[in-house]
């Protein structure tokens, strides 16, 4: 896996303390289409295909850049997969959660940047089953079944919320605090 490295555990803990706690915004007007995603990167490749190639090993693609095979480890549930059809590219902070956390006020261009961000630890290739189970839930309602990934997941979630100045709910903040507790030496640099 080559998810961009999020802030270290101790930095994530400090960032979490700085995030604004607020009630979730209404879902009025929400649609995934409000976040233009899978932007074209040229040569017929889009962001989704790029992430599948980045996160896999021995990845093969066809002449139209569609990933057809490879080997992946789904970090959420530990499944090892060889079928591109069994993989999904997950928005670590789901589009629906971003909407409830402040993206409802963003211009379309910023929502598109968020949905296609290859720099922040926002996009990750995972099993289709874990992606469906997660849906649009935040860590108060869903955590990766693979507990050994909680530290990375919590760090990445806080990193993305901090970069985009998104809010958190009180239960979400409590859940993230618990996930950061799984990081080695979370209190010290």
Could you report the per-residue pLDDT of 123-145, keeping only the tens digit for each? 999 999 999 999 999 999 999 99
Question: What is the per-residue pLDDT for 51?
Answer: 97
**pLDDT value of position 91:** 98
In this predicted structure, the answer to whether residue 152 has a pLDDT above a threshold of 90 is yes
Residue 1's pLDDT is 56
- The DSSP letter of residue 68 is E
Do residues 17 and 168 make contact, with C-beta atoms less than 8 angstroms apart? no
In a domain, 186, yes or no: no
Per DSSP bridges, beta strands 57-61 and 67-73 are antiparallel
Q: Which 3 state secondary structure label does DSSP give 67?
A: strand
In a domain? residue 4: no
Q: Is residue 119 part of a domain?
A: yes
Return the pLDDT at 188: 55
Number of domains composing the chain: 1
Domain contains 152: yes
In a domain, 185, yes or no: no
Q: Is residue 1 part of a domain?
A: no
pTM of the full structure: 0.95
pLDDT given for residue 44 in this prediction:
85
Contact 127, 161 (CB under 8 A): no
Range of the domain at 31: 9-180
């Amino acid at each position: 896996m080559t998810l961009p490295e999020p802030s270290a555990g101790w930095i994530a803990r400090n960032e979490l303390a700085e995030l604004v706690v607020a009630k979730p915004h209404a879902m009025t007007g929400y649609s995934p289409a409000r976040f233009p995603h899978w932007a074209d990167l040229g040569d017929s490749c889009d962001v989704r295909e790029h992430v599948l190639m980045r996160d896999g090993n021995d990845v093969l693609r066809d002449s139209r850049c569609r990933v057809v095979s490879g080997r992946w480890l789904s970090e959420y549930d530990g499944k090892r997969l060889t079928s591109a059809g069994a993989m999904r590219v997950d928005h670590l902070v789901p589009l629906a959660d971003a909407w409830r956390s402040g993206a409802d006020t963003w211009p379309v261009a910023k929502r598109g940047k968020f949905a296609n961000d290859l720099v922040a630890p926002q996009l990750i290739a995972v099993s289709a089953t874990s992606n469906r189970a997660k849906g649009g839930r935040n860590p108060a309602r869903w955590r990766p079944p693979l507990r050994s990934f909680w530290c990375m997941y919590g760090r990445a979630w806080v990193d993305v919320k901090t970069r985009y100045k998104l809010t958190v709910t009180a239960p979400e903040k409590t859940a993230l605090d618990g996930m950061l507790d799984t990081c080695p030496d979370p209190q010290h640099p």
